[in-house]
Structure 1
C-alpha cells in the first residue's frame, strides 16, 4: 500500500498539479479506489482490486480516453478519466467520467480542479466527444451536488440497481453536453 496523505487538510487546489496518468501511478490509484470499494457504496464493486486493473485502464485509454491524476508533493491524491459509454462504435461520442480523490482531500477544490482539467483535455484533444455522462449512487449526495455544480443534469434514476453493504442502491444518471449538437 502506498503512503497515505496525512496533512491533506492543508492542501488547496492551487497547490495541486494535474498531469496524464502513467503506469507508475497504478499503486496509488489502486489504493484510492480500494478505499471506496471497502468503505462506501460509491462503487458497486465488492472485492478489492489489484494494481493490474489500474495499469490496464491506463493502457486502454491512451489515445482514446483522457486519464488524469492530481498530485501534491509528487504523491497522487486523485484521478479522473473517461470510459466508453457503450460497447458499440455508435456510442463513441459519449463518454462516462469517473473521479476519485484520496479521502483526506475532499472539499478543498481539488475535485473541481481535476474535473475542469478533464473537461479542458476533452475540449482540446478529443473533438469527437460530444457528451459526458456520470452514474452516481443515489445516496452519494456529495457527488450529486458536485456534478450539478459543474453543469450536469439528471436524466434518469434506476431504483434498486445495485446491492452492497446489505442495502439496495439507486443509480442516478447525469449528463452534460461538451460539444453541443446544433
Structure 2
C-alpha cells in the first residue's frame, strides 16, 4: 500500500471512483459527473494550498482524500473541510482510516487544527444513502455539531446534511 500526493495524471482514475458516487448515491449531491477537464481543474486548485492524497494498492488507486477551504475568509485559515472517496469494490478494507490518518498529519504540518466534514445524512436509509459516512467519521473521532434538514435533493427525495468536527489540537 502506498499513499502519495495526487497529481493531474491521476484525474482519470479519481474521476472513475467519484463518478460511481455521483451516478448511484446521494453521498455527493452533485447530479452530473464532471468532465475530465473540470475534475482536473478541481485537483489543481486544491493542490495549490491543501493536501490531496491517493492510496494505491498493487499500482492501482483505490481511494483518495483531500482537504479544502472551510470558508474563504482569512479568519478560518486554521480550518479545513475534508472529503474522501474509496473505489466501490474496495470499501471496508480500512483504506479510509489510513488515508484520513495521513491527511491529518499533512494538515497539521500546514497549521490546520480544525477539521470539518459535511456529510449527506438520510432521513431514511435506502440504496442511495446510509449512515455509514457518519459512523466512519465518528469512529475516527469526529463529533456531530450540526444538521441541516432536507438540505439536498437527489433521486426524487430529500436528505439532510450534517456537519462533523474534529479538533486536532487545542
TM-score using structure 1 length: 0.86
Match of 2:125 in 1: none
CA distance in 2, matches of 1:40, 1:142: 12
How far has the Cα of 1:58 moved from its partner? 2.3
Contact 2:107–2:113 at 8 Å: present in 1 too?
Answer: no
Q: Which of structure 1's runs of 4+ aligned residues deviate more than 3 A? A: none
Of 149, 152, 168 in structure 2, the residue corresponding to residue 162 of structure 1 is 152
Of 19, 43, 55 in structure 1, the residue corresponding to residue 4 of structure 2 is 19
Of 45, 50, 54 in structure 1, the residue corresponding to residue 39 of structure 2 is 54
How far has the Cα of 1:64 moved from its partner? 1.4
Which whole-Å deviations, capped at 9, do the CAs of 1:80-116 have from their partners, x for residues lacking one? 0001011222221111000000001111111111111
Of 122, 130, 134 in structure 1, the residue corresponding to residue 117 of structure 2 is 134
Match of 1:114 in 2: 99
Provide the alpha-carbon RMSD of the alignment: 1.1
CA distance in 2, matches of 1:121, 1:133: 15
TM-score using structure 2 length: 0.92
How far has the Cα of 1:53 moved from its partner? 2.7
Structure 1 unaligned regions, length at least 5: 1-15
Partner of 2:147, secondary structure, is strand
Contact 2:146–2:164 at 8 Å: present in 1 too?
Answer: yes
Asked whether 1:91 is paired with 2:97, we answer: no
Structure 2 unaligned regions, length at least 5: 123-129
The alignment of Structure 1 onto Structure 2 pairs a total of residues equal to 163
